[in-house]
Amino acid sequence: MAIHVLLADDHTVVREGLRGLLEREGMNVAGEASNGQEAVKAAAATQPDVAILDVTMPALNGLDAAREIVKVSPRTKCLMLTMHDEDRYVLEALRAGVKGYVLKTQASLELAQAVREVHRGGIYLSPGISSTVVDAYLKKIEVPIDPLTARERQVLQLVAEGKTTKEIAELISVGAKTAESYRARIMQKLGIHHTAGLVRYAIRHGMVQP
């Protein structure tokens, strides 16, 4: 039986290339998404075997999308396909329950193998980043506990992307006052009191690109 896959990447040309690659390997692309929010909705609707997510996506980044997908589709295994090979991304992905981490530079060679491995219940790490994880473990590098809730992280990312309070409220389906209260709570928790500081925090934590 074919493995059903969800593709999430904000670049259409990348999704088209990945679709072709996976279909040539006999897999079925059950859905596509251009941002993390769409990925979560698509996962809930299609219940794919494997979700392939880019780390850096608008509206909701891949790591937070993976956390939400596990909730709406527990059977789905998440796999990150990204350019990021830094310790913090890899360790945060593993902590989020991600079962595969493939560098985009190796996608044509490794992606199908990675999908099959995580579908079988294993863990797949690109050779280029395996040493990163080992080194981090040996150095006892730990990812600090995030003080923000999933919703607060999403609001923070939207703030960093330049969305207004009204736009944020519409995107997360709440009232403007609720959206503003999220923003105030984020600032209080992080000890940051201006938007520029929130943007810098979001960039440092991989939610948005500079």
Each residue's pLDDT tens digit, 178-207: 999 999 999 999 999 999 999 999 888 778
Q: Give the Cα separation of 134 and 136 in Å (integer).
A: 5
Each residue's pLDDT tens digit, 89-146: 888 888 888 999 999 888 888 999 999 999 999 999 988 777 767 676 656 656 567 7
What residue type is assigned to position 100 of the chain?
G
Q: Kindly state whether residue 80 falls inside one of the protein's structural domains.
A: yes
Contact 158, 171 (CB under 8 A): yes
| CB-CB neighbours of 141 under 10 Å | 13
Q: What is the pTM of this model?
A: 0.83
- Identify the CATH number of the domain in which residue 120 sits: 3.40.50.2300
Of 85, 81, 120, nearest to 104 by C-alpha is 81
Q: Provide the domain limits for residue 192.
A: 150-204
| CB-CB neighbours of 1 under 10 Å | 5
**117 and 187 share a domain?**
no
Each residue's pLDDT tens digit, 137-171: 656 656 567 788 889 999 999 999 999 999 999 99
What residue type is assigned to position 166 of the chain?
K
Q: Which of 110, 138, 166 is the last residue before a domain boundary?
A: 138
Each residue's pLDDT tens digit, 67-87: 999 999 999 999 999 888 777
Each residue's pLDDT tens digit, 25-58: 999 999 999 999 999 999 999 999 999 999 989 9
